[in-house]
Amino acid sequence: MNIPYYMEAELQEIARKLILNFENLNVWCFYAEIGSGKTTLIKEIGKELLVVDKVSSPTFSIINEYESKKKGIIYHFDCYRLKSIEEAIDIGVEDYLYSGELCLIEWPGLIVPLLPEDYLKININLVSDKARSLTAIPE
């Protein structure tokens, strides 16, 4: 899936397309610069999946757990603050990744060796202050 240009007002439709096209993948990895909209897109995905909890960045908690009326449990990771792969293992990242539940991961670089064989790689790039581009590629 390739969206070369989009504005924030289009996020609902983008979230719907991602869910429709990649519902078979339980691990989604979001790659983007700081401030490019990773958490904003994840919030919109949460709305589409009828998450009953407040979706927010797990910057300090590293993992947030949400209840979804459509998907059950959803795990939201922010791996930015992890210092090593050992730290990720110590907090049980593998248990979440292989739980069969949807895992949405910001800053996944450090934990790539722990990812399942099949996952979704989502790249968000800044086009301008108000516009982004997105590619979603099953790995």
The 10s digit of each residue's pLDDT in 33-42 is 998 999 999 9
pLDDT score recorded for residue 129: 87
User: Going along 18-91, which residue ranges are E strands?
Assistant: 27-31, 63-68, 72-78
Query: Which residues are paired to 133 by β-bridges?
Result: 125
Q: What is the pLDDT of residue 59?
A: 81
Q: Per-residue pLDDT averaged across 4-10, rounded? A: 91
CA separation, residue 94 to residues 58, 62, 64, 90, 107 (Å): 17, 14, 15, 9, 16
Query: What local confidence, expressed as pLDDT, does residue 32 receive?
Result: 95
Where do we find the tokens 């989009």?
6
pTM listed for this prediction: 0.95
Is the pLDDT at 17 greater than 90? The verdict is: yes
Average pLDDT of 90-112?
Answer: 97
Residue 130 vs residue 112, higher pLDDT: 112
C-alpha to C-alpha distance for 101 and 29, rounded to whole angstroms: 14
Arithmetic mean of pLDDT over the chain:
95
User: Where do the domains of the chain lie, and which CATH numbers do they carry?
Assistant: 25-123 (3.40.50.300)
* Chain segment 43-99, per-residue pLDDT in tens: 999 999 999 999 998 888 899 999 999 999 999 999 999 999 999 999 999 999 999
DSSP class of 88: H
Q: Helix, strand, or coil here: 26? A: coil
CB of 15 closer than 8 Å to CB of 47:
yes
Of 13, 11, 47, 38, residue with least CA distance to 104: 38
